[in-house]
Amino acid sequence: MYLSREDLAKYPFCREAKEYISSLGFTIDEVFNPDFSVILGRAFERIESAVRIGRVETRLVDLDLEILSFNIAPIILSIIGDNALSMRYAVAEAKRVYEELRVDDDYKLQLISVNSFNWRVRFLRPGAFQIFFADFLQFSPVFEAFNWKLVNRSVIGGWVYVSRGELARLISERVKNEIFSKSSQPMPSITLPSNVMDRIEGLRKIFSSYRRVVESEEVKGPMIEFAMPPCIRSLMNGLLKGESMPHMARFTLATFLLNAGRSVDDVVKLFTASADYDEKMTRYQVEHIAGLRGSRTKYSTPKCSTLKTFGLCFPDDFCVLKKVKHPMTYYKLKVKGSGGGVGKGGSN
Partner 1 sequence: MERGDLIRKLFRGYYSSASIEAPNDIGRREFGFIFIGQEGMRRHMSFKSVEDLRSFMVREIPLHAYFSSAYYDFPDVEDMDGKVWRGADLVFDIDADHISTPCKSEHDSWRCIDCGYSSMGMAPEECPKCSSRRIEVDSWLCDFCLDKARDEVFRLVEEFLVSEFGFSIGSMLIVFSGHRGYHVHVRDKVAVELSLEARREITDYIRGVGLSLELHGFPSKSVKGVIPPSLSDPGWRGRLIRALYGFISSASLSDLTSMFNERVAKLIYDNKDEILCSLESSPPRWPSISGLPNYVWSRIASRVVSEVAVHIDERVTSDIKRLMRLPSSLHGKTGLIAKSMSISALNSFQPLFDASAFGFDDCKVHVSHMPRICIGGNFYGPYRNVDVKLPKTIAVYLICRGSATLLSW
Q: 125 has which bridge partners? A: 128
Q: For partner 1, which stretch binds (CB under 8 A), given 121-129, 155-163, 224-232, 268-276?
A: 155-163
Choice from 146, 216, 320, 321 touching partner 1 (CB under 8 A): 146
- Confirm or reject binding of residue 60 to partner 1 (CB under 8 A): no
Question: Binding string, 236-275, against partner 1, x = CB under 8 A?
Answer: ----------------------------------------
3-state DSSP of 305-320: HHHHHCCCCCCCHHHH
SS3 call for 160:
strand
Contacts to partner 1 from residues 275-314, by CB under 8 A: 294-296
Could you give phi then psi for residue 159, rounded to 5 degrees? -105, 140
What is the separation, in whole angstroms, between the first and last Cα of the chain? 56
Q: For partner 1, which stretch binds (CB under 8 A), given 13-21, 131-139, 175-183, 245-253?
A: 131-139
Residue with Cβ nearer partner 1 (132 or 299): 132
Choice from 156, 213, 320, 321 touching partner 1 (CB under 8 A): 156
Cβ of 188: how many Cβ atoms within 10 Å? 7
Could you give phi then psi for residue 25, rounded to 5 degrees? 65, 60
Give the C-alpha distances (Å, rounded to integers) separating 31 from 38, 65, 188: 10, 12, 14
SS3 call for 141:
helix
- Confirm or reject binding of residue 137 to partner 1 (CB under 8 A): yes
Choice from 155, 214, 219, 275 touching partner 1 (CB under 8 A): 155
Residue with Cβ nearer partner 1 (81 or 294): 294
Q: Are 89 and 46 in contact (CB under 8 A)?
A: yes
Which DSSP letter does residue 2 get? Answer: -
Choice from 38, 60, 150, 240 touching partner 1 (CB under 8 A): 150
Q: For partner 1, which stretch binds (CB under 8 A), given 75-83, 153-161, 163-171, 309-317?
A: 153-161
CB of 11 to partner 1, least distance (A): 25
Choice from 28, 134, 190, 219 touching partner 1 (CB under 8 A): 134
Q: Are 108 and 101 in contact (CB under 8 A)?
A: yes
Residue 326 CA to residue 319 CA, distance in Å, equals 9
Residue with Cβ nearer partner 1 (143 or 210): 143
Which spans of this chain sit near partner 1 (rule: CB under 8 A)? 132-134, 137-138, 140-142, 146-147, 149-159, 294-296
